[in-house]
């Protein structure tokens, strides 16, 4: 029996070292869990302002921060990597945070010329994990730009969410009416490849209760061909 392991860099002449139908590769722990995915496909992330934004109640029509929309016209999927949230200010309520999902969202914001579930979407630019010296935000010197539509700030408006759109618990806070420095809430979720966002789907973060507390948040994902 012979095993032929090729370097991804192509130094052996053929840069295709795959070991499965989904292009799995055999690696060691030298460069970290997501290193090869970042080199091969690109890992993207978006982070809210350090001052934070509120995590909206799940019935909100204007979810704020960390929306990821895979347009129906896209030829890639987004594999979720991480979600983190840390309270930075404001009075917290006792709530649970959920990952929400909705499909059949299409590719465009509703207008006089086209129908769509979103009536407003504040696009922001995702950060490519291949940071470069020029401008990784625009994909120059840091790999390609994201093919997803994402938003970490501004107004995004659609039909109010419903409980059935909650697909996973992300975490929560047991701090009630606490605005002190001791009442820090932190959520850290590793999706570990379990959730894939296919074209025509949007995901966002929501809570069981409205709260005026502000949370700095980061969402990261890998973009792969369908």
Q: Is residue 33 part of a domain?
A: no
Helix %, strand %, coil % for the chain, to 5?
5, 35, 60
Q: Is residue 23 part of a domain?
A: no
- The pLDDT assigned to 195 comes to 95
- The pLDDT assigned to 91 comes to 77
Q: Is residue 83 part of a domain?
A: yes
Q: Is residue 29 part of a domain?
A: no
> Rounded to two decimals, what is the model's pTM?
0.81
Give dist(CA 20, CA 97) in Å, integer.
35
Q: Is residue 148 part of a domain?
A: yes
What's the CA dihedral at 219, 92, 168, 77 to 10 degrees?
-20
Q: Is residue 46 part of a domain?
A: yes
Q: What is the pLDDT along the chain (226 residues), one digit of tens a residue?
A: 555 555 555 555 555 555 666 666 655 566 778 887 887 778 899 999 999 998 989 998 877 668 999 999 999 999 999 999 988 888 777 788 999 999 999 888 886 556 678 889 999 988 888 876 455 555 555 567 899 999 998 888 888 889 999 999 998 876 555 555 455 578 899 998 899 999 999 999 999 888 788 899 999 999 999 9
Q: 207: closest CA among 104, 78, 89, 65?
A: 65
Q: Is residue 12 part of a domain?
A: no
224 SS3 class: strand
What residues make up the domain containing 120? Answer: 38-225
Q: Is residue 65 part of a domain?
A: yes
Give Cα separations from 126 to 6, 24, 45, 145 (angstroms): 32, 25, 6, 8
Q: 142: closest CA among 129, 124, 155, 161?
A: 129
What secondary structure letter does DSSP report for 124? B
For the chain, the domain total comes to 1
């Amino acid at each position: 029996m012979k095993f032929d392991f090729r370097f991804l860099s192509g130094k052996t002449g053929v840069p295709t070292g795959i070991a499965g139908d989904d292009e799995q590769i055999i690696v060691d722990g030298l460069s970290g869990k997501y290193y090869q995915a970042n080199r091969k496909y690109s890992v993207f992330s978006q982070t809210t302002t350090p001052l934070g934004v509120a995590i909206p109640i799940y019935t909100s029509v204007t979810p704020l921060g960390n929306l990821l929309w895979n347009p129906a016209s896209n030829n890639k999927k987004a594999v979720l990597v991480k979600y983190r949230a840390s309270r930075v200010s404001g009075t917290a309520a006792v709530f649970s945070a959920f990952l929400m999902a909705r499909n059949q969202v299409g590719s465009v914001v509703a207008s006089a010329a086209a129908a769509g579930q979103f009536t407003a979407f504040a696009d922001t630019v995702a950060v490519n994990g291949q940071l470069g010296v020029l401008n990784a935000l625009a994909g120059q010197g840091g790999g390609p730009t994201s093919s997803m539509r994402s938003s970490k700030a501004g107004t995004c408006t659609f039909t109010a969410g419903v409980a059935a759109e909650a697909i996973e618990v992300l975490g929560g806070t047991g701090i009630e009416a606490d605005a002190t420095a001791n009442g820090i809430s932190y959520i850290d979720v590793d999706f570990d490849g379990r959730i894939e966002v296919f074209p025509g789907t949007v995901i966002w973060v929501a809570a069981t209760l409205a709260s005026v507390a502000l949370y700095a948040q980061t969402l990261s994902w890998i973009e792969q061909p369908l």
